[in-house]
C-alpha cells in the first residue's frame, strides 16, 4: 500500500499515537523475552532490524521523567528500531522514498515530548492531592484510539474535531489507583520542543473525588477566563 510519510506527526494519527493495534508503544518496561507486559500491554521489545529494512536504526532508548509505580525507576521510551518495527506490525508498508532514517528520529522526539507533556498535566491535577501523596507514579497505561471518551463524543456532536488518539493512564497515588483519560488532538508542531498534539488530560469520572476535582478545576478556569477579564476591563475605564 506504500504510505507516503513526511512524518511530522501524521504517523501517530493513523489509529493512535502509538502505532500498535489496540495497545500502546509508549513508555515501556518490557524486557526481551517473555509474554505481554500487563503494565503497558506490549509484547517484548523487538530490537532486530526488519526484513528489507532500507537503513539501520538506533536501538538506544531514552529514559522518561515518568516514575514507574512499585520501583525507584522511570519508564523507558522505545528505541527508533522498536518504533519502526511497531509501525510494520501495525500494517504500515514503506516504499523506497516513503521514509528516511532521520524521520524516525523526529517521530521519537515528538512521541516522547507528547508523553512528557501528558505527565506534566497529570501532575498539575495531582497537586489537588499533594497532602495525600507528594510523589504519584504511573502504574500502567493503554491506548484506546477506537474508543472515544464521552467528552470527546460530546465535542463531536457540537461540531468540534475528534481526537486522533486516546490513552488511559493508571496513576498510583500512595496505593490508590486513579485513572486519567488523555485525548490527543491535532496541533501545530513546535520544532523547538517537538510538541505536536493538543492534550486534554483529566481524571476519569470513576469516583466522587474525581467528579469533585473536575468541578473544582472547571470553576477555577471559568473564573480565570471571565472575572479576570472583567476586572481588567473595569481598570481600563
**For 197-219, what is each residue's pLDDT tens digit?**
789 999 999 999 999 999 999 99
Q: What is the mean pLDDT of residues 120-131?
A: 97
Other Cβ atoms within 10 Å of 66 Cβ, number: 22
pLDDT computed for residue 21 by the predictor = 33
> What pLDDT sits at residue 23?
35
DSSP line for 71-130:
SSSEEEPPPHHHHHHHHHHHT----TTT--HHHHHHHHHHHHHHHHHHHHHHHHHHGGGT
Looking at residue 198, what DSSP letter applies? E
Mean pLDDT of the chain: 80
Tell me whether residue 133 is exposed, middle or buried, using C-beta atoms within 10 angstroms of its C-beta: 0 to 12, 13 to 18, 19 or more. middle
CA distances in angstroms from 85 to 43, 162, 181, 237, listed in the order given: 12, 28, 27, 62
- pLDDT value of residue 226: 82
Q: Go through the chain and tell me how many residues it has.
A: 237
* Helix orientation angle between 101-126 and 80-90, rounded to the nearest 10 degrees: 100
Q: What is the pLDDT of residues 83-118, one digit of tens each?
A: 888 888 878 887 777 888 888 898 899 889 989 999
Residue 32's φ and ψ, nearest 5 degrees, are: -60, 135
Interior angle at CA 70, CA 177 and CA 129, nearest 5: 40
Rounded to whole angstroms, the Cα distance separating 37 from 68 reads 14
Q: What is the pTM of this model?
A: 0.77
pLDDT for 14 beyond 50 = no
pLDDT > 70 in the chain, percent: 73
C-alpha cell at 216: 473544582
> So what's the pLDDT on residue 13?
35
pLDDT at 24 over 90: no
Amino acid at each position: 500500500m506504500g504510505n507516503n510519510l513526511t512524518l511530522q506527526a501524521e504517523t501517530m494519527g493513523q489509529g493512535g499515537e502509538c502505532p500498535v493495534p489496540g495497545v500502546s508503544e509508549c513508555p515501556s518496561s518490557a524486557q526481551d523475552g517473555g509474554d505481554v507486559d500487563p503494565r503497558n500491554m506490549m509484547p517484548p521489545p523487538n530490537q532486530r532490524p526488519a526484513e528489507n529494512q532500507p537503513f539501520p536504526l538506533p536501538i538506544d532508548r531514552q529514559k522518561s521523567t515518568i516514575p514507574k509505580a512499585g520501583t525507584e525507576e522511570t519508564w523507558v521510551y522505545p528505541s527508533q528500531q522498536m518504533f519502526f518495527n511497531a509501525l510494520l506490525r501495525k500494517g504500515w508498508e514503506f516504499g523506497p522514498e516513503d521514509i528516511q532514517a532521520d524521520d524516525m528520529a523526529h517521530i521519537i522526539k515528538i512521541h516522547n515530548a507528547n508523553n512528557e507533556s501528558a505527565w506534566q498535566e497529570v501532575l498539575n491535577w495531582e497537586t489537588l492531592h499533594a497532602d495525600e501523596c507528594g510523589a504519584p507514579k504511573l502504574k500502567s497505561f493503554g491506548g484506546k484510539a477506537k474508543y472515544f471518551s464521552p467528552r470527546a463524543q460530546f465535542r463531536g456532536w457540537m461540531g468540534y474535531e475528534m481526537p486522533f488518539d486516546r490513552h488511559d493512564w493508571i496513576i498510583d497515588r500512595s496505593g490508590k489507583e486513579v485513572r486519567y483519560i488523555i485525548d490527543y488532538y491535532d496541533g501545530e508542531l513546535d520544532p523547538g520542543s517537538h510538541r505536536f498534539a493538543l492534550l486534554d488530560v483529566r481524571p476519569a469520572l470513576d469516583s466522587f473525588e474525581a467528579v469533585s476535582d473536575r468541578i473544582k478545576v472547571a470553576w477555577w478556569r471559568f473564573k480565570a477566563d471571565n472575572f479576570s477579564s472583567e476586572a481588567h476591563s473595569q481598570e481600563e475605564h
